[in-house]
Chains A and B, each alone.
Chain A
């Protein structure tokens, strides 16, 4: 219970910090919007092609946005030197990581849900009939991105050229999430939508494996 209650308190702190300024959410949404609009120049966005390329476009946009959005995750703590205070405040350092990854998942999901209707309108791809299943793949995919991203943000915050380093570390690591989520999303955006549970299985496995790794090795990430 102590882990959950500590996580809850820290999650509240993360959410309050963000919703006070809403800087992160606003810039991330605008970034994804820019990517979605610019992508339309790279192929002829007819409905058929949009269904073919739309899933890839969406997930690439989410990944690029995430690699920018995750930068301040630990940088904020470093700048204000609050990490040691956080570590003293909780008995289990995993609570800090859990709170951050929960907050990051939530922020990512919010931006994805805000972008979905825009994408649907701009590219003529109906999403309402498959909304529930899309939400499932968005949630699992965003969770995977946040788990890996939170861990790597803790690593890159301590290195030089951290703004370039985080995407460099994150993008190859997230290959399974990109491949599987794109496939599942492509199936759902098809003319005859279908669900690919094997793909969901891959993303869910990624989430479980990396969450376990974070639980096992997370305390070393927060060492000073």
Chain B
């Protein structure tokens, strides 16, 4: 518990430093003004979500091959945490778009792909909730998780191609495109607290799942006795 609190404290400090850097160190954008500072939150959220989904993918493959419940616990933790970061990305995107473009949603390629990603992993969690037997649930959700993750580059690629056919306002050019070197440095730095937060959230979610596993074992022992 002490380790957990210390970890949480470190993450809060890092987030505060990142916010300071985003507001006071990064220069103001000449075109968008102060609103562009959402980039230091929006992009790290999106990228951390993808990292979490990658961890989920690795855990899924490991479960299918090794059948150790710990991989299943890691998989569901990573998927949920990934979904949390993706939600934050999808919430901050429209808050950015509205003042700049006057509309909440522009069907921008990146945001649309992120919305599909969100739906994919919501389906993953729905599937888990509808499978009762723990080993079946672990195996079948792992297999779906594998299919979902290999779909991700195809989703992003096809939607980006679709948008080149029908250009729409782009919320942001892309990480690094047209970014001042200081802005880029701040952006990269802001990713660090997000990754730390991801680890913290995954760790607490994993412990919850591990406890569930223990509870299941104890219940089975009690029934056998």
Contacts and interface: CB of A to CB of B under 8 A. Distances in A.
Direct contact of A and B (CB under 8 A): yes
Contacts of A168: 123, 126
A86 to B, nearest CB: 19
A175 B155 contact: yes
A169 B158 contact: no
- Most central of B147, B148, B158 by chain A CB within 10 Å: B158
Given A172-B119, A172-B123, A176-B154, A198 B140 contact: no
A102 interface: no
Contact of A159 (B140, B148, B161): B140
B127 A158 contact: no
Contact of B127 (A165, A176, A199): A165
Interface residues on B, range: 20 to 34
B162 interface: yes
A60 interface: no
Interface in B124-155: 126-127, 130-132, 136, 139-140, 143-144, 146-148, 150-151, 154-155
A173 B151 contact: yes
A223 B154 contact: no
B32 interface: no
A165 B126 contact: yes
B175 interface: no
Nearest to A156: B127
A209 B150 contact: yes
Contacts of B158: 175-176, 179-180, 202
Contacts of A209: 150, 154
A155 B140 contact: yes
B154 A155 contact: no
Nearest to A171: B119
Contacts of B150: 209-210, 213
A36 interface: no
Contact of A176 (B132, B139, B147, B151): B151
7 contacts: A161-B130, A169-B123, A172-B119, A173-B147, A180-B161, A183-B162, A213-B150
Top 8 A-B pairs, shortest CB-CB distance: A176-B158, A176-B154, A172-B119, A159-B130, A179-B158, A160-B130, A172-B120, A202-B158
Interface of B: 64, 116, 119-120, 123, 126-127, 130-132, 136, 139-140, 143-144, 146-148, 150-151, 154-155, 157-159, 161-162, 165
